Amino acid sequence: MDWKSKLSEAVNYLRSRDLEARIGIVLGSGLSFTVEKLKIKEEIDYRFIPHFPLPTVKGHPGKMSLVEWTGEKVIILQGRVHYYEGYDLAEVTLPIRVLRSLGVEIIIITNAAGGINLSLQQGDFMLITDHINFMGDSPLRGVDFDPRFISLTNAYDRELGLIYEQAAHKLNIPVKKGIYLAVLGPVYETPSEIRMYRLLGADAVGMSTVPEVIVARQLGIRVLGISVIANPTINAEEFDHDRILNIMEFSSRQLGKLISEILTNLSSGRK
pLDDT 10s digit of each residue in the chain, 271 long? 787 889 999 999 999 999 999 999 998 765 665 666 677 889 999 999 999 999 887 766 899 999 988 888 999 998 899 999 999 999 999 999 999 999 999 999 999 899 999 999 988 999 999 999 999 999 999 867 778 899 999 999 999 999 999 999 999 999 999 999 999 999 888 889 999 999 999 999 999 999 999 999 999 999 999 999 988 776 555 555 566 666 666 677 788 889 989 999 998 766 4
Q: How far apart are CA 263 and CA 23, in angstroms?
A: 9
Selected catalytic residue, list 65, 82, 126, 168 = 82
The amino acid sitting at 68 is E
Selected catalytic residue, list 10, 85, 126, 230 = 85
* Known catalytic residue at 82: yes
Selected catalytic residue, list 10, 32, 46, 60 = 60
The amino acid sitting at 204 is A
Entry pTM: 0.93
Residues 210, 129, 126, CA angle at the centre, nearest 5°? 90
According to the model, what pLDDT value does residue 176 have?
97
* Known catalytic residue at 84: yes
* Known catalytic residue at 131: no
* Known catalytic residue at 208: yes
On whether the 3-270 domain is CATH 3.40.50.1580, my answer is yes
Q: Where are the domains of the chain?
A: 3-270
* Known catalytic residue at 29: yes
Selected catalytic residue, list 51, 241, 249, 267 = 241
According to the model, what pLDDT value does residue 271 have?
47
Selected catalytic residue, list 10, 64, 90, 207 = 207
* Known catalytic residue at 231: yes
Return all residues near 234 (Cβ < 8 A) that are at least 6 apart. 118, 191, 194
Selected catalytic residue, list 231, 251, 252, 265 = 231
